[in-house]
Structure 1
Amino acid sequence: MASRSLRIGNVSGYLGDRFTAVDEAMAGDPVDVLMGDYLAEVTLAALAAAAGRGRPGYVEYALDQLTPHLAEIARRGIRVVTNAGGFDPAGMAAELRERIAGTEGAQGLRVAHVAGDAVHGRLGEFHAAGHGMEHLDTGAPLKDWGFEPIAANAYLGGFGIAAALAAGADIVVTGRVTDASLTAGPAAWWHGWTPEDHDALAGAVTAGHIIECGAHATGGNFSGFRTVPGMVRPGFPIAEIAADGSSVITKHAADGGTVTVDTVTAQLLYEIQGPRYLNPDATVHLDTVQLSQQGPDRVAIGPVTGSPPPPTAKVAVFAPIGYEISTMLFCTAPDVEGKVELLRAQLRAQLEGHVDQLDVTPLGVAAVDPPDQWAATVPVRVIATAREKEPLRRFAPAVGSLYLQGFPGFHHDGHAPRASEPWPRIEYWPALLESAELDHHAVLDDGTRVDVPRPARTATPEELAQPVHPEPELPAPGGDPIELGALTWARAGDKGGNANVGVWAPDPAHWDWLRATLTTARAKELLPEAQGAIVRHEFPHLRAVHLVLVGLLGSGGSANLRVDQIGKSVGEYLRAKHVAGPA
């Protein structure tokens, strides 16, 4: 077991994150591991579509980021762990080996990949064996979906990564592991943990969850962005993970951004379903997480309570469900409502019977007595879907025909290209599968297979159930109306078809007020778009109320028609609402 903490530096939070991140990390403070997270449900859907068109199933962007630094990575003995392998980790590993072979000073680097997440070819086998792979939200069996899957990937844990590193790999390429596994795997290797070290693993999963989204932990996408120094270019985070799983979150000293209890709280509340955070290596009890500011840009996370992992793994299944096409138009006051209704009626008259869905959504409200033309202007997003491409080819002519017969002032951005060709829609189906069915293993550069240890015990349904938090028994606030965001910060994200919102009070004096303000009933009033159930939990140590808005995102981010497709702005929208302030 290593005596010192492991330092893991993040270099990507999603496909499209700042290209120079690896350059910055290599020029920054020392780290033992570079970790790059490139996959999300929407990214997987896009990679699935690209692979179907003959493109590589892995993230080429990540290869181009790493290649200039291969010799220096070898010289410093840095390990690299990334899920950029996407649907083809073996293919990305092979391409990396070719680049290493052609790079002077890098030839000693060994590349391994983790396999076992891709289960698309086994769906028939699972069905025959009685595995329904029911949809996590609707309970419907996969066989009743009505669409033909093109990809299915299980979320693996970190022990395949740990096994590859222990066998001598310098770079480990994975497909669909959980985002936190990219940190928990190297920590398990470094400290010699076994699958029974639940508390330590839970701590590493927590640290991994904090740094997995890059600058999210250093001030990016943060309600308090005005307080963040160097916000024009916030740096990437580092996790220092000790042998007991406790950690310190920090960043490269010379980079912009900041690491505070609030920036870490924001990411801790991001994309969770409640106090029980289920991971393939451990169940994390997030309600035991304690944060403390240890110094400038250093937030300590004390030991976290963990328990056995669930007996099942989440599986992301994707299928093409048709095509879509959209455009943005602009409508200028007065009578925006009437103009949008005319637009909707005119497009329906031309497209009804040809498209499956037509959505016309005005964005915002024109100013009263506007100071300039743009304050009077409301963007209008128009989108149509169909099972086949051909009917959607009517869309552009239908929109284009309205310039002289539509509402007064009808226009689009004349400097933007007009969409004329539909693009594929990929839908996401979240399911569960018994982990024992998965063939989780690592493959070394010489083809050697390394099997992954399994936990001795998995959790029971009772142990995995989210706790029930009763509504607070507090009097309703009676102060003057204020903007909720005047005293709170928030972060929102997506979990399949559900959106989650964490709202917390930076000032301890406002915690009871927030609890009394954001009851389930009041949340329903403040968020009329949330037609489904709202599940509410409290995190007293974080002074946070957490809400899961069930079904807000339809069938998931890759296929719903919301403009805010994956719910990233829901938290800020909630903060904009006016509520009764503290008395």
Structure 2
Amino acid sequence: MTVRIGNASGFYGDRFSAVREMLTGGPLDYLTGDYLAELTMLILGRDRMKDPARGYAKTFLRQMEENLGLAKEKGVKIVANAGGLNPAGLAEALRELVAKLGLDVSIAHVEGDDLIGRGEEFGKPLTANAYLGAWGIAECLNAGADVVVTGRVTDASVIVGPAAAHYGWARDDYDALAGAVVAGHVIECGAQATGGNYAFFTEHEIGVPGFPIAELEADGSSVITKHEGTGGVVNVGTVTAQLLYEITGARYAGPDVTTRFDTLTLTQDGPDRVRITGAKGEPPPPTLKVCLNRLGGFRNETTFVLTGLDIERKALLVREQLEGALKEKPPAEIRWTLARTDHPDADSEQLASALLHCAVKDADPNIAGRAFSGAAIELALASYPGFHVTAPPSAASPYGVYEAAFVDAQQVPHIAVLPDGSRVDIAQASETLELSEVDEPELPEPRFAGAMTRVPLGRVIGARSGDKGGNANLGVWVRSEDAWKWLAHRLTVAEFQLLLPETASLKVTRHLLPNLWAMNFVVEGILGEGVASQARFDPQAKALGEWLRSREIDVPESLL
């Protein structure tokens, strides 16, 4: 019997009401939530520094207080990675909540991902968490748990675990597991699968998108949908966009299975229903990825507003003045960015103004804080005409640095703590396969028929982009075979770097996915030391794809 798994959270801070919306909107067997990201682990790490009893997503606990009785009444089991750095603490808080509410609800949790006890091995980070898989979740559900909370499992695992428990899959049912990973990857980011952040949003009434549901079959095939009557849209485009999100290449490695994204077929299965078939799986790699966060130092920033004439000269003047004032104890890093948002002969002061952003970093909070703030403000009456800032600099704030490490999976514990308190050791994968690149697929025959016209690339392509540590992933897709035959030859790495000059000096790799009429570009190092280090204007590369779509290029008129 088909299992219906809905998702109600794509990040820590997502729509609070989504849990109730999903429970009341229609039938579900399981409700999942993804609360963790690289940045979230840093935030929870700082919480844990203040209080060892913290370190989990407190929002989830409040959502359960409002909705746990409703979930029990409807027979919906809940699985979420909201345990963060302290899944045992969240499980205990849930048990206290259950007692307070007078409910008959059993709680279980999964632990073992936290490797902070091996801190010396990783250079004493603030957090060190391995990405565990789905089998601990499945064990808890098989033991009768109504709610399972975990620490750092892969995002898709909160969906794979319920499916594996429901169908009784074996550890080597790789194709079925791969299909569940694909469905999980689509729905784990919440409304991004139902029209949120969608390149072709102007073609649909998006409103407030409902959250997604995966209807999973025993063979791992699925239909992605949403509750009837909710906002947004589910079509081949929205699902393709989410499939491309932060995947790197055709092989998508996980702790339980390596999923081949080059084997998938998407078909529209009715309004707001997209069927995914054909997933193939391979044994997982022998190592697990570890998310490391450490405190990198302190940062501060201010933005100078430059209005009217001589913008470049004004920028040069304030830069020379501020750097001169800081020369005795200069910050370890100072970064200037001039955004020419000004227009000539503008009919409003705002349209006549450019923005000069200055950001500094240093290990000393006084250098990044008081020294920088004071030097910037002291220029107020002594610099360019019309001097003002969008907001004055303040005290320095700490920033984090992200790093990925890889460890032997057999050296990482994976423990299911069942509702009765008993602990079950979950074996890591016994059959593994070193990860390797897929052979470059054969390019389609080029098709450049007819006249060309210069238009923004986004007239033809969709895009979705995001971060993986210091790297950016930018997936693009088209919606016809003719467009694919053109795109595969036209949008080379060289052309990509020409269109996005910020990437010209960086290593860029292109991965082709002909089955999806899509490709993914990985840009290494563009995000510095990760989102928490705030290395660029768009620190998570969320809009990198939209920048690419705005760039003009010669396109065959037949594709428009």
What TM-score, normalized by structure 1, do the two folds share?
0.91
Query: Contact 1:290 / 1:541 at 8 angstroms: preserved in 2?
Result: yes
Letter in 2 for 1:538: L
For 1:12, what is the secondary structure of its paired residue?
Answer: coil
Aligned runs of 1:75-114 on 2, under 5 Å? 75-104=73-102, 106=103, 108-114=104-110
**Compared with structure 1, are the counterparts of its residues 470 and 246 closer, same or farther at alpha carbon in structure 2 (3 Å cutoff)?**
closer
Determine the structure 1 residue equivalent to 2:396.
422
- Residue 220 of structure 1: SS of its match in structure 2? coil
Query: CA separation of 1:469/1:422 partners in 2, compared to 1, >3 Å: closer, same or farther?
Result: farther
Deviation at 1:68, TM superposition (A): 0.8
What is residue 57 of structure 2 aligned with on the other side? 59
Q: Residues of 2 paired with 1:323 and 1:67: CA distance? A: 37
Separation of aligned partners in 2, 1:264 and 1:471: 24
Which amino acid letter does the alignment assign opposite residue 246 of structure 2? Answer: E
Looking at structure 1, the residues matched to 510 and 457 of structure 2 have their Cα atoms a distance apart, in angstroms, of 17
| Matches of 1:564 and 1:75, distance apart in 2 | 44
Q: CA RMSD for the aligned pairs?
A: 1.8
Equivalent AA in structure 2 for residue 544 of structure 1? A
Give the drift of 1:61: 1.2
Q: State the Cα distance separating 1:181 from its structure 2 match.
A: 0.6
Contact map agreement 2:455 2:555 (CA 8 A) in 1: yes
1:394 aligns with: 371
Residue in 2 that maps onto 1:489: 462
Secondary structure at the aligned position of 1:9 is classed as strand
Alignment partners' CA distance in 2, 1:59 and 1:324: 26
Does the Cα contact within 8 Å between 1:49 and 1:424 map onto a contact in 2? Answer: no
CA drift at 1:355? 1.2
Matched residue of 2:249: which SS? coil
> For residue 121 of structure 1, what is the aligned residue in structure 2?
117
- Aligned counterpart, 1:467: 439
Flag the 1:65–1:421 CA change in 2: closer, same or farther, 3 A: same
Shift in alpha-carbon separation, 1:422–1:54, aligned structure 2, 3 A: farther
Q: Any idea what the Cα deviations from partners look like across 1:35-85, whole Å, max 9, x if unmatched?
A: 110111111112112222337101101111221111111222211111111
Question: Structure 1 residues 439-448 or 113-122, which shifts more?
Answer: 439-448
Q: CA offsets per residue over residues 149-192 of structure 1, 9 Å max, x none? A: 12100000011111111111111111100001111111111111
Q: What is the number of residues matched between the two proteins?
A: 552
The one-letter amino acid paired with 2:425 is D
Aligned to 2:220: 245
Map 1:225-244 to 2 at 5 A. 225-229=201-205, 231-244=206-219
Distance of 1:83 and 1:329 partners within structure 2: 41
Change (3 A) 1:20 1:364: farther
Contact 2:445 2:485 in 1 (8 A): no
Does structure 2 retain, via aligned residues, the 8 Å contact 1:476–1:516?
A: no
Match among 334, 338, 349 for residue 309 of structure 2: 334
Distance 1:472 1:500, change over 3 A: farther
Q: Which residue of 2 aligns with 1:173?
A: 149
Tell whether the 8 Å contact from 1:517 to 1:579 is kept in structure 2 after alignment.
no
Aligned AA for 1:46?
I
Q: 1:442 aligns with which of 416, 422, 430?
A: 416
Q: Identify which of 497, 500, 515 aligns with 2:488.
A: 515
CA contact (8 A) 2:248 2:511 kept: no
Q: Which letter does structure 2 place at the counterpart of 1:491?
A: R
Which amino acid is 1:343 matched to? Answer: V
Q: Which residues of structure 1 form unaligned runs of 5+?
A: 128-141
Deviation of 1:475 after TM superposition, in Å, equals 7.8
Match of 1:506 among 479, 486, 492: 479
Shift of 1:365: 3.0
Partner of 1:296: 271
Percent identity for Structure 1 against Structure 2: 44
The one-letter code of the counterpart of 1:535 is T
CA contact (8 A) 1:32 1:79 kept: yes
Alignment partner of 1:384 out of 349, 352, 360 = 360
Structure 2: distance between partners of 1:535 and 1:570: 15
Structure 2 Cα separation of the partners of residues 335 and 475 of structure 1: 48
User: Would the aligned equivalents of 2:414 and 2:428 in 1 still touch at CA under 8 Å?
Assistant: no
Give, in whole Å, the separation in 2 of the partners of 1:480 and 1:76: 56
Q: Cα offset for 1:504?
A: 1.1
Partner of 1:455: 429
Decide whether the 8 Å contact of 1:536 with 1:547 is kept in 2: yes
Instruction: Name the residue aligned to 1:195.
Output: 171
Alignment match, 2:30: 33
